[in-house]
Amino acid sequence: MILMPRKAEAMRAGTPKDAGAGSPEIEIRDLHKSFGDNQVLRGIDLEVDAGEVVCVIGPSGSGKSTLLRCVNLLEEPTSGKVFVGGTEVTDLDVDIDAVRRRIGMVFQQFNLFPHLTATENLTLPQRRVLGRGKAEAAETAARNLERVGLAAKADAYPAQLSGGQQQRVAIARALAMGPEVMLFDEPTSALDPELVGDVLAVMRRLAQEGMTMMVVTHEMSFAREVADRVVFMDGGVIVEQGPPAQVVGDPQHERTRHFLNRILDPAAAEPEEPTGE
């Protein structure tokens, strides 16, 4: 496999990005999202460059998944703007289906059709959404199943696959659509611990290939090793962001330190006081 160079090595070294770099692949401006009286996102500003891997971490209820779902308008923001590849996703006149074809998304649950084989789960959206012929869709499916290490399971049904294998099929399904951006919403949270590694290995390879990725995760080892930037959210705002060595290794904010202590050493964590919310 030929690995594309990672443009974010400079960020890991702590040097600024090139001032002449092009527009970000994902741009989020003053994003707000409320569900009734519950303000989930409170003015998020974030950019993700092409080829960059950004891991979003934070406690449950901090707005991480909502932020991700606003990028492809699975959740409609209350206010603010989102751009993907220079196109404003939040524009009322945008062809959202066309924009979504450029964005692959992998959820906590695998959402595979149980009555279809792995290959059929990959070919169906290609044929219905992209209008590909049967042969082209099958060839693309085979290529992407091999890409995630599941060529031998092409004819297997979801019930015949482990949870980790099902999640890799879901990743292959997203890749078969030819996305420019991949969004991962805690893709390993529904897996048994021994199955997590295979899924993270696939995501590492995608990062090495230069795929633009936003990843909501609690896998701190993945964030440390693979992310170009880690974003810590709490209470619907970005509290801290920067290279993994800074945010995970030497966090500057007390709330970030408290969260990481609970994640990295749960046995030593003190129970949190109820907030009454």
Q: Quick one: average pLDDT of 73-98?
A: 94
Concatenating the DSSP letter of every residue in 42-109 gives: EEEEEEE-TT-EEEEE--TTSSHHHHHHHHTTSS--SEEEEEETTEETT-TTS-HHHHHTTEEEE-SS
Inform me whether the pLDDT recorded for 171 exceeds 90: yes
Half-sphere exposure of 255 toward its Cβ, with a 13 Å CA cutoff? 14
Strands (E), the chain: 26-35, 38-48, 53-57, 79-84, 87-88, 103-106, 181-185, 212-216, 229-234, 237-242
What local confidence, expressed as pLDDT, does residue 194 receive?
87
Give the lowest-confidence range in 66-75, 110-119, 260-269: 260-269
Q: State the chain's mean pLDDT as an integer.
A: 89
Inform me whether the pLDDT recorded for 272 exceeds 90: no
- Angle at alpha carbon of residue 63, lines to 30 and 83, rounded to 5°: 40
What local confidence, expressed as pLDDT, does residue 91 receive?
95
User: pTM of the prediction?
Assistant: 0.87
Tens digit of pLDDT for each residue in 19-32? 334 689 999 999 99
**CA–CA distance, 22 with 264 (Å, rounded to integer):** 36
What local confidence, expressed as pLDDT, does residue 22 receive?
63
Inform me whether the pLDDT recorded for 3 exceeds 60: no
Tens digit of pLDDT for each residue in 215-252? 999 999 999 999 999 999 999 999 999 999 999 999 99
Q: How far from 274 is each of 54, 61, 87, 271, CA to CA, in Å?
A: 31, 14, 42, 9
Tens digit of pLDDT for each residue in 60-69? 999 999 999 9
